[in-house]
């Protein structure tokens, strides 16, 4: 596992360099979710594929930017499911973006995730790694290495609200929930990049990030293997919770296709409790 984390550190510097120096236009292709790919999406995907190709414990790679599974080493143990550049459409307005990695052993489902990591490319490069039975660890790039900063813990109740999805397509109960948070004094913090938005809530001690099912996207937008499950694990390890719109832990998701999405809610305990009450979920 250590080799995988070291490889992610190398990848982080390479993608950061690509973001700062490469052409920002569109490529001539779209990804499996039918979205136009930016040249930077494709370039980041290639950086990651090349970096893991020589890591023998990695059996397979599954990328948000590719259809299907890429087999690397028959004798490897882990499958890495990754979003090479999350929020890539924000690069041209110079907002923060990220990379997300879910490391699975065996069948690709939430309960088989053994570790997750994400990188934030912002004013500084930051990396957070989560493993079982310990708090996530934050690293910050200093020069050309990562310095360990400390562990990440969510408070019981936060102050930030990051509500995703198109508001005109929210359900009535979801509108009521978001309004209830604002009435309780929560402040809007939403950039449109799930990595910096979830990172801000984690580092500021708590809050709620939601991307619900909507009338135009009944299963939400965010992808289970690359986005939802890796962050669900992060939030649980940090002392928070991550559930879907029925109250099921996102760590229990079993995708039937690598690109399946799920409605998702990530927060500290108080916001999740309020969500369950208002949505009428069973505890």
Q: Which residues bind ligand AHG (CB under 6 A)?
A: 35, 64, 83, 86-88, 164-165, 192-194, 221
Q: Of the two residues 86 and 245, which places its CB atom closer to Mn ion in the complex?
A: 86
Rounded to whole angstroms, how far apart are CA atoms 81 and 104? 8
Nearest distance in Å: CB 195, ligand AHG: 6
| In the complex, least distance from residue 41 CB atom to Mn ion, rounded to whole angstroms | 6
Under the binding rule (CB under 5 A), the answer on residue 86 touching Mn ion is yes
Beta bridge partners, 207, equal: 160
Q: Residue 59: in which H helix or E strand, if any?
A: strand 58-63
* CA-derived radius of gyration, the chain: 18
**193 interface partner picked from ligand AHG, Mn ion, none, CB below 5 to 8 A per type:** ligand AHG
Take residue 82 and report the two structure tokens written for it: 């990754």
Residue from 26, 37, 39, 25 nearest 64 by CA = 37
Question: By beta-carbon distance, which residue lies closest to ligand AHG?
Answer: 194
| Nearer CB in complex with Mn ion: 181/230 | 230
Strands (DSSP E) found in 106-193: 113-121, 125-131, 137-142, 145-151, 160-163, 187-188
For the stretch 122-152, what's the b/e string if a residue is b when 16 or more beta carbons lie within 10 angstroms of its beta carbon? beebbbbbbbeeeebbbbebeeeebeeeeeb
**Spatial distance between the Cα atoms of 44 and 14, rounded to a whole number of angstroms:** 8
Per-residue interface string for the shown chain with Mn ion, residues 32-71, x marking contact by CB under 5 A: --------------------------------x-------
How far is residue 213's CA from residue 56's CA, in Å, rounded to a whole number?
39
Give the residue with the Cβ less far from ligand AHG, 84 or 158. 84
> Does 83 sit near Mn ion (CB under 5 A)?
yes
- Taking the complex as a whole, the smallest distance from the CB of residue 119 to ligand AHG amounts, in Å, to 13
Select 8 or 194, whichever has its Cβ closest to ligand AHG.
194
Smallest separation (angstroms) from ligand AHG to the CB of 164: 5
213 binds, options ligand AHG, Mn ion, none, Cβ within 5 to 8 A by partner type? none
In this complex, which beta carbon is closest to ligand AHG, that of residue 22 or of residue 73? 22
Residue of closest CB approach to Mn ion? 86
Q: Report in angstroms how near the CB of residue 230 gets to Mn ion at its nearest.
A: 11
Provide the 10 A C-beta neighbour count for residue 282: 6
In the complex, which residues of this chain contact Mn ion (CB under 5 A)?
A: 64, 83, 86
């Amino acid at each position: 596992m250590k080799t995988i984390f070291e490889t992610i550190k190398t990848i982080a510097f390479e993608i950061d360099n690509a973001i700062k120096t490469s052409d920002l236009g569109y490529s001539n292709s779209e990804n499996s979710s039918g979205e136009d790919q930016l040249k930077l999406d494709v370039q980041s995907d290639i950086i990651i594929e090349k970096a893991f190709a020589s890591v023998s414990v990695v059996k397979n790679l599954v990328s948000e930017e590719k259809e299907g599974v890429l087999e690397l080493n028959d004798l490897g143990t882990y499958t890495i499911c990754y979003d090479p550049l999350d929020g890539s459409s924000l690069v041209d307005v110079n907002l923060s973006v990220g990379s997300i990695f879910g490391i699975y052993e065996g069948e690709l489902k939430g309960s088989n995730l053994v570790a997750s990591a994400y990188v934030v490319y912002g004013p500084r490069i930051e990396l957070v790694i989560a493993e079982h039975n310990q708090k996530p660890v934050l690293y910050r790039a200093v020069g050309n290495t990562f310095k360990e900063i400390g562990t990440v813990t969510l408070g019981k109740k936060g102050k930030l609200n990051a509500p995703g999805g198109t508001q005109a397509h929210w359900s009535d109960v979801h509108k009521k929930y978001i309004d209830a948070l604002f009435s309780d004094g929560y402040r809007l913090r939403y950039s449109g990049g799930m990595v910096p938005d979830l990172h801000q809530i984690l580092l500021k001690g708590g809050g709620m990030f939601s991307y619900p099912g909507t009338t135009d996207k009944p299963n939400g937008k965010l992808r289970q293997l690359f986005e939802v499950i890796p962050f669900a694990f992060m939030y649980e390890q940090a002392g928070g919770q991550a559930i879907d719109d029925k109250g099921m832990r996102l760590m229990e998701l079993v995708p039937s296709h690598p690109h399946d999405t799920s409605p998702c809610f990530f927060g500290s305990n108080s916001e999740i409790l309020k969500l369950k009450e208002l949505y009428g979920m069973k505890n």
